[in-house]
A and B are shown apart, each in its own frame.
Chain A
């Protein structure tokens, strides 16, 4: 008797409780099924942990010049070998990785915030505001980015250096310039999402119920357009890391005493025949980081796309 009374609420209650899953938990469940994305997240976490804590464990100074040990291949005393001044490459990479990854994250935040703002305004307003903002976006998209990046850095480097110091000045400049040239794809994505979402039935229903335009955007349209923005933001981290490495690789990014991964490659490229390890380690670090981030972005795309059945 007691068993049958207990049984019926449990059986009817269990599926109902299982159905009630928060969007975040559902996204995580879907993300986990993308094995390569999960592997990417793990590798990225390891790299970030290494650059965050590594310098405390591997305490060799990054600028300890030792000509007796120059251009050495990997060994126990120098696991990643040494450069032409005998400086330890592992220590330099751990230190440089911090800057490379920090530049990527900070530039992404700038790009996503500016892009979402511009895209949302353009997507909600019809007529000349939309046209003007899209013209601005197109203008920025047509700017040859790398030459302009080089120019602006070349131009403002000394001013910012004298204001806030070499490292901070260079960091602010590179982050601002890379972020300032990467917001356009996000803006276009957000605008496209807004254009289609604002005509959808659920927004129309909200409008019919008397929701103000702000409420329509904040409650109904923006949350539904965030999926592609999160994915674009993830990919932007990878792109910003590549952009920073490219600047450093051309010898026009961070100064030589700040060994970002791109800068290490720049210094290594003239010694390829005798010291291949010098180029291979930082290059592989950039590649692994970017590949992991791209896979995470792919996993997020699958996890956040409600049309996709998983």
Chain B
């Protein structure tokens, strides 16, 4: 297991470097010039602009800029946002907790939906419960997050007027009142993401359990006289989770994509909406940093999935 962990870590490092190269190449080709505005401003002489460009190192060759950028990225020096006039790492640290809170809660919600429903449906395949669960799962993951968000706003904010559709960080309340307001405004974004993920996970869990439950060793466990719950939880679910973990890890980038859309709809001040506004404002350092943070998060979650995978199926960690 130790060697397996080490190997997965060693595979993650070149991935990180590879991703950083891809990101930097794409961004180095970007047409947006942060000093373009100054070029059209007659009050700023051309020399000042040239000096600024030199000061920020924008005229150096791409390779030099990449090495310098990657070095400072590793040192935690992420540059200065042109649009917000604030250090990028501060900006991201302000925004990151909200994003992690929304993504984290929605994943927990998804897990709470998917595991029990998926397992229960698979133990009674083609029953009424299975068919209803399956139909809802199909509807759930066929509804794109942006449309679910709009539907939720239409129903719960405009028709019923129960929930606010703009996420605010400056709630003027304390104690229980603050928690209540906060929960109310987080409910829709979390539900939109969680229901979407939960729906597709339900199907993964169901089909994985269904694949395992007919195997001979499960029959053996039953014929030993084990209770049904022990058979399902200890023998079936553990093996069924192996493909589920793979599929969930494969979906990580999609989850972050969904988070960007959700943050944009409900105006959640996370790093997803930061990215969109940075792209619209040509704010290159922020785009770089946010995309890099998203990549790091994806790699981190993939690593966790690999470790979980090795723990669930010891054969994988041996060779």
Hey, which bits of chain A sit against chain B, CB under 8 A? Answer: 135, 138-139, 141-148, 150-152, 154-155, 158, 184-185, 188, 238, 242, 245-246, 249-250, 252, 262, 265, 268-269, 272-273, 276, 279-280, 283, 286-287, 290-291, 294-295, 298
Interfacial chain A residues near B145, Cβ < 8 Å? 246
On whether A154 and B150 interact (CB within 8 A), knowing A146-B256, A147-B260, A250-B264, the answer reads no
Q: Which residue on A lies nearest to B249, using beta carbons?
A: A141
Q: How many residues of chain B have a CB within 8 Å of chain A?
A: 47
Q: B154, A286: Cβ atoms under 8 Å?
A: no
Q: Which residue on A lies nearest to B147, using beta carbons?
A: A283
Q: Is B195 interfacial (CB-CB < 8 Å)?
A: no
Q: B302, A246: Cβ atoms under 8 Å?
A: no
| CA of A135 to CA of B13, assembled, Å | 11
In B162-180, which residues have CB < 8 Å from any A CB? none
Per a CB cutoff under 8 Å, which of B26, B139, B294 touches A155?
B26
| CA of A103 to CA of B138, assembled, Å | 22
Per a CB cutoff under 8 Å, which of B31, B141, B298 touches A142?
B298
| CA of A141 to CA of B22, assembled, Å | 13
Q: B26, A138: Cβ atoms under 8 Å?
A: no
Interfacial chain B residues near A145, Cβ < 8 Å? 253-254, 257
Interfacial chain B residues near A155, Cβ < 8 Å? 26, 29-31
Q: A147, B275: Cβ atoms under 8 Å?
A: yes
Sorted from nearest, which 3 A-B pairs have the closest CB atoms? A146-B257, A144-B294, A291-B142
| CA of A97 to CA of B30, assembled, Å | 31
Q: B256, A249: Cβ atoms under 8 Å?
A: no
Per a CB cutoff under 8 Å, which of A135, A142, A265 touches B147?
A265
Q: A142, B295: Cβ atoms under 8 Å?
A: yes
Interfacial chain B residues near A252, Cβ < 8 Å? 276, 279
Q: B138, A144: Cβ atoms under 8 Å?
A: no
Per a CB cutoff under 8 Å, which of B29, B139, B150, B299 touches A291?
B139
Q: B26, A246: Cβ atoms under 8 Å?
A: no
Interfacial chain A residues near B257, Cβ < 8 Å? 144-146, 246
Q: Which residue on A lies nearest to B22, using beta carbons?
A: A143
Q: B150, A279: Cβ atoms under 8 Å?
A: yes
Per a CB cutoff under 8 Å, which of A142, A151, A269, A286 touches B144?
A286
Interfacial chain A residues near B38, Cβ < 8 Å? none
Minimal beta-carbon separation of B258 from chain A (angstroms): 9
Interfacial chain A residues near B294, Cβ < 8 Å? 144, 147
Q: Is B27 interfacial (CB-CB < 8 Å)?
A: yes
Interfacial chain A residues near B287, Cβ < 8 Å? 147, 151
Interfacial chain A residues near B279, Cβ < 8 Å? 150-151, 154, 252
Q: Which residue on A lies nearest to B265, using beta carbons?
A: A269
Q: Which residue on A lies nearest to B27, using beta carbons?
A: A151
Interfacial chain B residues near A265, Cβ < 8 Å? 146-147, 150
| CA of A185 to CA of B247, assembled, Å | 9
Q: Is B11 interfacial (CB-CB < 8 Å)?
A: yes
Interfacial chain A residues near B139, Cβ < 8 Å? 291
| CA of A150 to CA of B32, assembled, Å | 14
25 sampled A-B residue pairs with Cβ under 8 A: A138-B11, A139-B22, A141-B302, A143-B295, A144-B294, A145-B253, A145-B254, A147-B260, A148-B22, A148-B26, A150-B279, A151-B291, A154-B279, A155-B26, A155-B31, A246-B146, A250-B264, A269-B150, A273-B158, A280-B154, A287-B142, A287-B144, A294-B141, A295-B138, A298-B138
| CA of A135 to CA of B276, assembled, Å | 29
Q: Is B52 interfacial (CB-CB < 8 Å)?
A: no
